[in-house]
A and B are shown apart, each in its own frame.
Chain A
Amino acid sequence: MSESPALQALQALKVVDAFDLDDELRSILRPGEMIRDAHGRRHRLPRYFYEIPSHEAAMATKLAPNFGMNEFVLVDLKEAPRLQLYPRYVPCAVRVLVFYLQQFRAVVGSSLHIVVNGGYRSPAHRLSTEATPHMWGTAADVYRIGSNILKTQELIEKYNEIALDLSEDVSVHPYGHVTGKNSDDHVHLDLGYITLIPREISEDRMEQPQESRPRFAFEDRRGRERRNLPEASDKPF
């Protein structure tokens, strides 16, 4: 059975280890860094991303029958300027999100329209004040379902319930006016802080960082642990 052009496009996308990207991109994407959410819980930022070379590639790449990659890279000037340009980067876990979005679409029987800034947002995005699944590519803000613009409590709560019925993995923001915790002009649907490591990727490099690569705090710590070295300390003996 031959693969569809859209699936071929997805398979053609390069998966990158964000540790291998240039300094500017690493400082924007902050792969592997820990970041706190609104409750003070720490989560490790994703490391593996799809690299989308062009707008045309984003448009051509289907993640599911009714969702294209382009829908998850819609950002405005709140995103870091570098990430407003191609190539763009989206965490690989976006595929899991799309799996659920496709189910959601099937239940509501209408198209879902993801709002600008409502797909992937980098840690440098101005709305990324604390950890949010948007930074993992596992959240979507839907502002319109079919012809219904979601601007009333009734509509938002109706679709929130449908989203919650999909799976216990799905979380939504209740209707309300507190930015980041509620929503009053969209349905926020997320899967939490999922990271996805494509099966083609070998993670051994995480354990054996190259000397030429920049070292991150957690890598140093792991290295010391492996060598049974004491924690670095500036305390006098």
Chain B
Amino acid sequence: MVAKPRPIPEKLPVPPAKDSVAAAEVSLYRNVLKIRQEHLLEDLGISFYDAETTIQWSYNADHYFHAASTMKLAVLLGVFRQIDRGELNLEAPVHIRNRFTSIVNQQPFMLDLGRDADPDVYGHLGKTLTVRELAYWMITKSSNLGTNLLVDVVGIPTIQQALDEMEIDGINVLRGVEDTAAFHAGLNNEVTANGLLKLLRLIADGKAYSQNACDEMLKILLDQQYRSGIPAGLPKAARVAHKTGNISTVHHDAGIVYLEGRKPYVLVILTQFSAEKGRGTAVANVSRDIFNTLAGSIYE
């Protein structure tokens, strides 16, 4: 259900007077359009909320994108729903097995472990890892095997129920990862920038089930090992609790940015491009632009 790319306006808006929030927003809008043009993005979605100033800003934020690995945030939420209800334990052992069932034809499929970036999970084939360990590798190294195992543990209906209970629109989880039959049938997980923003805001505010659950989720998200997205546009001192998502034609990042001496801001950047073009540095550029806007236009 990925829509056609929106055309980029030929004329950029005229900036209002400097030193106003409106000026910052328009400046941001102009810069985002520039980045979109420079990187030949087919589509771009951004949603942003700053807890310090309560400014919310978005661009194309209700447009659905292929979720790629950002769907793992929803899996994480589903896991903590079950833990909060006492139906699952973070220390419970899970058998590491590379065998899953397609949602389309119920046929078994295996992950191509050569593509999975995470030997920390597939190195345990035949043995067990705990729910906590799987959640950790699912997020920090984007382990597909860990994800599918956790999807098997909690179930897709539970994940979707968790999203519904939290009134998160804009995230549709239909299946685990690398279900090729489902992919060919057009059954894909989808996200909007606003959907991911809402999920991350609940975690940042300690409102996803319990403060303890949110603390656990944040701890995992802060250990993210792929930092070419949002963190690449920030000063080194920034701490980012985030999840990236990459396939051949999308590069996303969704995270909570912690800067010294202020409340965090939540930022979701979704990009889509042609396979020939490659992903480039659009996400980092948008991240940098938003940081500069906050640091310069608003606080100077």
Contact = CB atoms under 8 A, between A and B. Distances in A.
Interface of A: 74-78, 84, 113, 115-117, 143-144, 149, 151, 177, 179, 184-185
Given A77-B153, A116-B126, A149-B125, A184 B99 contact: yes
The 8 closest A-B pairs by CB, nearest first: A116-B95, A143-B126, A77-B92, A76-B95, A76-B93, A115-B126, A177-B108, A76-B94
Given A116-B93, A185-B97, A185-B98, 6 more contacts: A76-B92, A76-B93, A77-B93, A77-B131, A143-B125, A143-B126
A117 B88 CA distance: 18
B128 A74 contact: yes
Nearest to A79: B93
Nearest to A127: B95
B219 interface: no
15 contacts: A74-B128, A76-B95, A77-B89, A78-B95, A84-B92, A113-B126, A115-B126, A116-B96, A116-B126, A117-B95, A143-B126, A149-B126, A179-B108, A184-B108, A185-B99
Nearest to A186: B126
Interface of B: 88-89, 92-99, 107-108, 110, 125-128, 131, 153
Nearest to A149: B125
A95 to B, nearest CB: 23
Nearest to B152: A78
Contacts of A117: 95
A116 B153 CA distance: 15
Contacts of A77: 88-89, 92-94, 131, 153
B85 to A, nearest CB: 14
A236 B267 CA distance: 76
A177 to B, nearest CB: 5
A63 to B, nearest CB: 20
A202 to B, nearest CB: 38
Nearest to A113: B126
Nearest to A74: B128
A116 B92 contact: no
A135 to B, nearest CB: 17
A149 B275 CA distance: 35
A75 B89 CA distance: 15
A115 B95 contact: yes
Contacts of A84: 92-93
Contacts of B89: 77
A216 B97 CA distance: 38
Nearest to B94: A76
Contacts of A143: 125-126
Nearest to A78: B95
Given A115-B97, A116-B93, A117-B95, A76 B128 contact: yes
A184 B97 CA distance: 11
Nearest to A117: B95
Given A177-B107, A177-B108, A184-B108, A144 B95 contact: no
Given A76-B93, A77-B92, A78-B95, A116 B107 contact: no
A58 to B, nearest CB: 14
B112 to A, nearest CB: 12
B98 A116 contact: no
